[in-house]
């Protein structure tokens, strides 16, 4: 077997293991796949396989920053375009099976990707967290934004529109939002929107928010 191909497969599996803890299924009360959001200054659309180069450019352009603030041991500069394309295909396949949903964030009417949103079933490995019952939540949302998005003039609308989108698409859902303690931009935005974390996962360094 081609050694370069073997390395790609091993690295992809390692990355997916890092990003794929133990999940239950989605809450049966959820009303299908969330649709695109194109009602504000930011646009949220499902990730497509054709987005692979723009997706790669987005996370690699802010790789050092995101590695620090996300707490996911991702992204790294070792990710090749080929491995990235494999990851995008994996996300798209999950989306099509409704096992998990991946969206990309753009300025409305523009091509460049400025972030990504991941909707998954709740991570059941957090059962040890104080004041947390995973059965109270329908789904879990995580995300990242590029440094360019976070410094944009309308960056204060990012979290606001994300929450509006979730509320509109899943009005009956209780969504868990874990955010690493180092992700200052998000915590400041959540505070401005009068959302406070209700507990902390000391093992991962995540502060947990409840939406809506």
| 199 contacts 131 by C-beta, under 8 angstroms | yes
| Fold entry, domain 3-211 | Aminopeptidase (3.40.630)
**Mean pLDDT calculated for residue range 83-102:** 96
Rounded mean pLDDT, 148-171: 94
The answer to whether the predicted template modeling score (pTM) of the entire model surpasses 0.75 is yes
Q: Which of 150, 76, 73, 163 is nearest to 114 (CA)?
A: 150
Which pLDDT tens digit goes with each residue over 24-61? 567 666 667 899 998 889 999 999 999 999 999 999 99
Q: How crowded is residue 19: how many other Cβ atoms within 10 Å of its Cβ?
A: 16
Q: What is the mean pLDDT of the chain?
A: 88
Report the alpha-carbon distance of residue 122 to residue 83 in Å, rounded: 26
120 confidence band (pLDDT: 50, 70, 90): very high
**Per-domain residue ranges for the chain?**
3-211
pLDDT at 32: 76
Q: Do residues 104 and 116 make contact, with C-beta atoms less than 8 angstroms apart?
A: yes
Question: What percent of the chain stands above pLDDT 70?
Answer: 86
Which pLDDT value is given to residue 61? 98
């Amino acid at each position: 077997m081609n050694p370069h191909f073997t390395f790609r497969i091993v690295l992809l599996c390692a990355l997916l293991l890092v990003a794929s803890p133990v999940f239950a299924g989605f809450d049966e009360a959820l009303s299908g796949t969330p649709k695109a959001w194109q009602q504000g200054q930011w646009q949220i659309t499902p990730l497509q396989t054709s987005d692979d180069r723009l997706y790669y450019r987005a996370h690699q352009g802010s790789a050092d920053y995101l590695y620090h603030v996300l707490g996911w041991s991702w992204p790294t500069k070792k990710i090749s375009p080929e491995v990235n394309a494999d990851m995008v295909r994996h996300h798209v396949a999950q989306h099509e099976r409704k096992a998990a949903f991946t969206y990309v964030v753009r300025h409305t009417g523009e091509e460049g990707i400025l972030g990504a949103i991941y909707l998954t079933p709740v991570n059941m490995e957090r059962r040890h967290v104080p004041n947390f019952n995973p059965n109270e939540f329908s789904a879990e949302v995580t995300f990242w934004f590029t440094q360019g998005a976070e410094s944009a003039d309308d960056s204060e609308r990012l979290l606001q529109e994300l929450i509006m989108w979730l509320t509109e698409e899943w009005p009956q859902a209780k969504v868990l939002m874990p955010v690493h303690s180092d992700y200052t931009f998000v915590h400041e935005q959540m505070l401005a929107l009068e959302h406070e974390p209700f507990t902390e996962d000391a093992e991962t360094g995540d502060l947990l928010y409840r939406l809506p």
